[in-house]
Chains A and B, each alone.
Chain A
Amino acid sequence: MAKVMHEEIINLKKEFIEMANLALSMLDDAINALINKDIELAKTVDKRKRSIRDYDVDMEEKVLKLIALYQPMAIDLRRLATILKNITYLYRLGRYGKDIAATVKNFVDLPPLSESLGIIHMWEHVKPMIEDAIEAFDVEDISKLKNFEERDNEVDQLRWSIFRESVSYMMEYPKYITACAYILMIARYLERCGDHACKMAEKIHYMVTGDHIEIS
């Protein structure tokens, strides 16, 4: 019976990685849509919100069922606990992608604000954090999580520099106030995405080592 459970856990891990890639693609496409003012691409992000939700519900059910049926211990229990926690973070990442995509229409007739205000730059910091967390989960090796604290701090700093720039921009060009407010919102979302990557990393660290840590 244990063998069946071990196979189920391997399948769940695969599914988790699929879900992670979906969440990542939603964010990545949302940012690209924003930069390129690509309304069509933004719409495809919105369409994916159902399927990230389905992953969340479906995987939660599967994890709970496995726990109830097999009462796993040690590494198996830690794997399932990590999946159960982290699907929530993945779901939120996907939702932020959807939220960012929803703002794209507001930028269509404007100069390249998002680019000049460093949103891409911020995403270039956040994205690899998410990717590293997924990889650490996949191969069960925590070495890629080592500097998450500093990376998260950098993301925070980028957000504040976007904040400062946006504020001066808004004072200079009042007609872009609405768009700049969206930029601030997006920067806030990306900062949250960085936090979620850290939270996932904490759980993955626990999964691999059994020790709880706190990253920032």
Chain B
Amino acid sequence: MNVKVSLKKKNMMNEKFGQKFEPIAPYENDIIIKSKKLNLWYDDNHALIDIDIKVKRNKITAIIGPSGCGKSTLIRSFNRMNDIIDCCKIEGEVNYHGKNIYSDDINIIQIRKSIGMIFQKPNPFPMSIFDNIAYGPRLHKEYRNVDLDELVEKNLKRAVIWEEVKDRLEDSAISLSGGQQQRICIARALAIEPDVILMDEPTSSLDPIATRKIEELIFELKKKYTVVIVTHNMQQAARISDYTGFMYLGEMIEFGETEQIFEKPRKELTERYITGRFG
């Protein structure tokens, strides 16, 4: 992360002082989602402005920024969740594995299956824990011959909630604590084998212990999945993510490796935001 300059060998001190940072090397091959000149309007509110972002496979990408800057809008645009909003107009591209998900021949069901979403407030279905997890697979015909008991157990284990609920799978998911509900939602998202998991402030309604569990889980998830997480908690972004994007008023002000963003941001606006010198 840090440029280490040996001044002894080259005696180039004057040149080295105050030098600018090199851009991060391109990582085109591992890019799973890539937006190009993405613009989004809610009526005449220009909520996303020329967003070019690259989301890298098996990494955790965090999106930070003040309230209303467009974080949720951005990640919703990654699986076309904005489609359901009437006043919303989109221009530009979001390429998923190289294919624009806004092109006409795209299968939206398939996109939503591959790109799952976890919300701020845990939203388990008002049904049993078991059925919450089995719900998605039951809808998709490729799971017709799958042993649902096994599938439910596997995904509850992946979401590190199995031990807590294995003896009460028939209980309503609503009866669980917030932190448990959130992990049920993650298990539910995992059950349909997504590729990317989008998370919109997944821990902001949880206590510190539940938050820690979810964070550990997210960290585990990146071995198999790609995670994009919106968070207001800067320490959380710093702890768990590999890349961080800072948004302000609909623009991606700075995007880079998380350590760089939090240790030495390039843009003054980022610096002011993360050090609390904002507004």
Task: Decide if A215 touches B2 in the complex (CB within 8 Å).
Answer: no
Q: Are A75 and B275 closer than 8 Å at their CB atoms?
A: yes
Is B24 interfacial (CB 8 A cutoff)?
no
Q: How many angstroms from the CA of A77 to the CA of B3 in the assembled complex?
A: 18
- Alpha-carbon separation in the docked complex, A1 to B278 (Å): 12
16 A-B pairs within 8 Å (CB atoms) are namely A3-B276, A71-B235, A72-B275, A74-B271, A74-B274, A75-B275, A77-B263, A142-B18, A145-B17, A209-B264, A211-B2, A212-B2, A212-B5, A214-B5, A215-B7, A216-B8
Interface string of B236-257 (1 = CB under 8 A from A): 0010000000000000000000
The 8 Å CB contact of A214, one of B6, B14, B234, B263, is B6
Q: Is B135 engaged at the interface, CB distance under 8 Å to the other chain?
A: no
* C-alpha gap A146/B4 in the complex (Å): 16
Question: Does A167 count as interface, using CB distance less than 8 angstroms?
Answer: no
State A114–B129 Cα separation when bound (angstroms): 84
Indicate if B119 sits at the interface (CB-CB under 8 A): no
Given contacts A5-B276, A145-B17, A211-B19, 20 further A-B contacts (CB under 8 A): A2-B276, A3-B276, A6-B275, A6-B276, A71-B235, A73-B275, A74-B262, A74-B274, A75-B275, A146-B17, A209-B18, A209-B264, A210-B2, A210-B263, A211-B5, A212-B5, A213-B7, A214-B6, A214-B7, A215-B7
Closest to A72 in B: B275
- Among A74, A205, A214, A215: residue with most chain B CB under 10 A: A74
Contact of B7 among A6, A75, A149, A210 (CB under 8 A): A149
B93 to chain A, nearest CB (A): 33
Considering the chains assembled together, what is the distance between the CA atoms of A185 and B184 in angstroms?
A: 69
- Kindly report which residue of chain B lies nearest to residue A209, judged by CB atoms: B18
**Which of B's residues lie within 8 Å of A, judged by CB?**
2-8, 11, 13-14, 16-19, 234-235, 238, 262-265, 270-271, 274-277
Chain A residues with CB under 8 Å of B2's CB are 210-212
Q: Which of B5, B271, B276 has the most CB of A within 10 A?
A: B276
Choose among A74, A211, A214, A215 the residue that contacts B265 (Cβ–Cβ < 8 A).
A74
Given A146-B14, A211-B19, is A74 in contact with B4 using a C-beta cutoff of 8 Å?
Answer: no
In chain A, positions 196-210 with a C-beta closer than 8 Å to chain B are: 205, 209-210
> Which residues of the other chain, B, contact A73 by a CB distance below 8 angstroms?
234, 238, 262-263, 274-275
User: Contacts of A146 on B, CB cut-off 8 Å?
Assistant: 13-14, 17
The CA-CA distance from A75 to B270 in the complex, in Å, is 11
A209-B7 Cα distance, complex, nearest whole Å: 16
- Cβ of B238 to closest chain A Cβ, rounded Å: 7
Contacts of B6 in A (CB 8 A): 214
Chain B residues, CB < 8 A from A72:
275
Cα distance A211–B18 in the bound complex, in angstroms: 9
Asked if A76 is at the interface (CB within 8 A of a chain B CB), the reply is: yes
In the assembled complex, A53 has its CB within 8 A of some CB on chain B: no
Contact yes or no, B8 A6, CB < 8 A: no
Given A213-B5, A214-B8, also A76-B235 (CB < 8 A)? no
A147 at the interface (CB under 8 A from B): yes
Write out the residue numbers on chain B whose beta carbons fall within 8 Å of the beta carbon of A211. 2-3, 5, 19, 264
What distance in Å separates the Cβ of A96 from its nearest Cβ neighbour in chain B?
24
Whether B264 contacts A74 by the Cβ 8 Å rule is: yes
Q: Check if A62 is an interface residue, CB within 8 A of chain B.
A: no
Q: 8 closest A-B pairs (Cβ-Cβ)?
A: A2-B276, A210-B264, A73-B274, A212-B2, A73-B262, A213-B5, A76-B275, A71-B235
Shortest Cβ gap from B88 to chain A (Å): 33
Q: Which of A77, A148, A214 is B4 in contact with, Cβ under 8 Å?
A: A214
Asked if A216 contacts B7 (CB within 8 A), the reply is yes
Whether A43 sits at the interface, judged by CB under 8 Å, is no
The complex places the Cα of A61 from the Cα of B124 at a distance, in Å, of 46
Give CA–CA (A1, B6) in the complex, Å: 39
User: A1 vs B11: C-alpha distance in the bound complex, in angstroms?
Assistant: 44
**A74 → chain B, closest Cβ, in Å?**
5
Q: In the docked arrangement, what's the CA distance between A146 and B228, Å?
A: 42
Q: Are A75 and B271 in contact (CB under 8 A)?
A: yes
User: A201: shortest Cβ distance to chain B, in Å?
Assistant: 11
Complex CA gap A211/B263 in Å reads 10
A9 to chain B: closest residue by CB: B275
Contacts of A142 in B (CB 8 A): 17-18
